[in-house]
Structure 1
Amino acid sequence: MDKSHLLTDMEMVGFLVNGYHLLELDLPEGLNERIAGRLDELDHNPGDAIAEEVPELWQAVEHPAVKGALVSLLGEDYEVQGHRHWHCKQPHTGHMSWHQDSTNSRDTRIDRLLGLFYPTDITPEMGPTIIVPGTQFRNAPTDRMATYTNIHGQVPMVVKAGTFALTHYDLWHGTAANRTSLKRHMIKFLFRRVRDNRAPTWNHDPEAMDVPTAWGGKRDDPKNVLSFGNPIGVGQSDHYKERQIRWKCWNNLLGVADATDR
């Protein structure tokens, strides 16, 4: 694989802190429009067979930037799982409540990712997916989450056509209402780690963490972002717990799971 498509230390740390990574793919001219047109013509939801109905989707899944990010996060022999789904947000439909796609156990491993592909531009009025950065390590009962409204720091996926979003499987997400006369298309894919890392699988600088800790200050380097990044401004106690989980995830990705947390 061309190593230029692998993630950097800062991008890896950004994923551990925020729980997502966005890729704007340089797909062949007209491909996004063909995919969107095929989706518009479907008269049923084929479920797991969506990529058989619209095989052009594989050009997004197999794009070098997507493969490079997946190798970085899940290892060189990651698996594209069989489950996938076309989420079509119909015109003039309401929001989807906050939820997680899995039972959150504050796992210290990065084992499963969601891949969300958007073949059209998504505006704020089209019912974008909304995520809450950093919530991949937070557990909450689904019935309680469903009562929440806007959350401080939430991010609507207002993206360009051809965007592929990789998110932690446990990241909190929902959708806004679609207030337009257009369908909002998103195709979800699942990816799984096959085996634990024995070494970094991204563009890792072995000296990236050999910098002073910026206690009480801010510095834009991997070590200090991993330690002090706080995307939604959680309280000190929660932040300390999440920081420990991030460092355990980092050590697992390095292939040194028994290393002392920073």
Structure 2
Amino acid sequence: MSEQYLLNDAEVARFLVTGYHLVEPELPTGLNENIAAQLDALATNPGDAITEAVPELSQVLEHPTVTGALSSLLGPDYEVQPHRHWHCKQPDSPHMNWHQDGLNNRDILLNRFLGLYYPTDITANMGPTIIVPGTQFRNAPTDRMATYTNIRGQVALTVKAGTVAFTHYDLWHGTAANRSAHKRHMIKFLFRRTRENTAPTWNHDPEATNKPNDWNKKAQAEDANNILNFTNPIGVSQSDHYKERAIRRQNWDFLMGKQA
């Protein structure tokens, strides 16, 4: 893996804090359009067999920008899990309620996450995926979450064609309603760690967490130490922020290969 495609310390720290990271691979000309056309033509949802129905999806997974981010966060021996799903949001379809994927049994350490690939430009009226950065450590019953509407700090993934959004498995997410005349396609992939790190697997600077705390620029933190200490995506209370900061540091040490 060429180091130019690996994440840096600040990007890894931001993922630990916000629970998501976007990449925009430079895919071959026409690939996104080809994939979107094949999805448009599908009569039924093939479920886990979507990569067999649309084999060109493998070119997205194998792009070095994608594999570089995966190697940085899950190690070079990460696994692409067999479950994957095509989400097709039809025109005039309603919103999807807030939820967390999987069972209500959350993993604090970074051992798995999702990759969401969008083969077309996604505009605000197409029913984009909406995420709430920083909620990946907040376990909430789905029936309670279904009563929530807009949440402070939520982010609509209005992205350009070819974007892959890596999102923590437990990040709160839903979708807006599709009020356009177009189908909104998204392919969801799952990735997991196969072995614990013994050293950082990204472009790591040994001085990354030795930068002094900058209390004057907490909201504009740019280095790993200040990002881990101060970034507060949804403006939680001081007490909650202290708890989250401890989890972030635990994750950072885990990725650094420091055994508990």
**TM-score, length-scaled by structure 2:** 0.97
Structure 2 equivalent of residue 244 of structure 1: 246
Could you say what secondary structure the match of 1:55 adopts?
Answer: coil
> Displacement of 1:25 after TM fit?
1.3
Q: Is residue 116 of structure 1 aligned with residue 116 of structure 2?
A: yes
Could you say what secondary structure the match of 1:136 adopts?
Answer: coil
**Partner AA of 2:253 in structure 1:** N
Distance in 2 (CA, whole Å) between partners of 1:48 and 1:103 is: 19
> Displacement of 1:137 after TM fit?
0.6
Structure 1 equivalent of residue 36 of structure 2: 36
Q: Is residue 198 of structure 1 aligned with residue 198 of structure 2?
A: yes
Q: Determine if contact 1:77/1:193 at 8 Å carries over to the other structure.
A: yes
Deviation beyond 6 Å, 4+ runs, structure 1: none
Q: Determine if contact 2:104/2:141 at 8 Å carries over to the other structure.
A: no
Distance in 2 (CA, whole Å) between partners of 1:84 and 1:77 is: 19
**Partner AA of 1:50 in structure 2:** I
> Displacement of 1:76 after TM fit?
1.0
Could you say what secondary structure the match of 2:56 adopts?
Answer: helix
Structure 2 equivalent of residue 99 of structure 1: 99
Q: Determine if contact 2:8/2:202 at 8 Å carries over to the other structure.
A: yes
Q: Determine if contact 1:108/1:246 at 8 Å carries over to the other structure.
A: no
Distance in 2 (CA, whole Å) between partners of 1:34 and 1:106 is: 37
Q: Deviations over 1:203-239 (max 9, x none)?
A: 0001111122234652421101111100111111111
Structure 2 equivalent of residue 210 of structure 1: 210
Q: Structure 1 stretches of 5 or more lacking a match? A: none
Alignment of structure 1 residues 74-223 onto 2, 5 Å: 74-103=74-103, 105=105, 107-215=107-215, 217-218=217-218, 219-223=221-225
Distance in 2 (CA, whole Å) between partners of 1:211 and 1:24 is: 29
**Partner AA of 2:244 in structure 1:** E
Identical-pair percentage: 68
In the superposition, relative to structure 1, how do residues 206 and 106 fare at CA in structure 2: closer, same or farther (>3 Å)? farther
Q: Deviations over 1:138-164 (max 9, x none)?
A: 011110001100000100000000000
Could you say what secondary structure the match of 2:29 adopts?
Answer: coil
Could you say what secondary structure the match of 1:135 adopts?
Answer: coil
Distance in 1 (CA, whole Å) between partners of 2:47 and 2:105 is: 27
Q: Determine if contact 1:248/1:257 at 8 Å carries over to the other structure.
A: no
Distance in 1 (CA, whole Å) between partners of 2:75 and 2:252 is: 13
Distance in 2 (CA, whole Å) between partners of 1:222 and 1:127 is: 33
Alignment of structure 1 residues 226-245 onto 2, 5 Å: 226-245=228-247
Distance in 1 (CA, whole Å) between partners of 2:216 and 2:141 is: 34
Could you say what secondary structure the match of 2:51 adopts?
Answer: helix
In the superposition, relative to structure 1, how do residues 103 and 247 fare at CA in structure 2: closer, same or farther (>3 Å)? farther
**TM-score, length-scaled by structure 1:** 0.96
> Displacement of 1:62 after TM fit?
0.8
Structure 2 equivalent of residue 23 of structure 1: 23
Q: Determine if contact 1:19/1:136 at 8 Å carries over to the other structure.
A: yes
Structure 2 equivalent of residue 255 of structure 1: 257
Could you say what secondary structure the match of 2:82 adopts?
Answer: strand
Q: Determine if contact 1:104/1:170 at 8 Å carries over to the other structure.
A: no
Distance in 1 (CA, whole Å) between partners of 2:8 and 2:259 is: 20
Distance in 1 (CA, whole Å) between partners of 2:17 and 2:259 is: 18
> Displacement of 1:108 after TM fit?
3.2
> Displacement of 1:202 after TM fit?
0.3
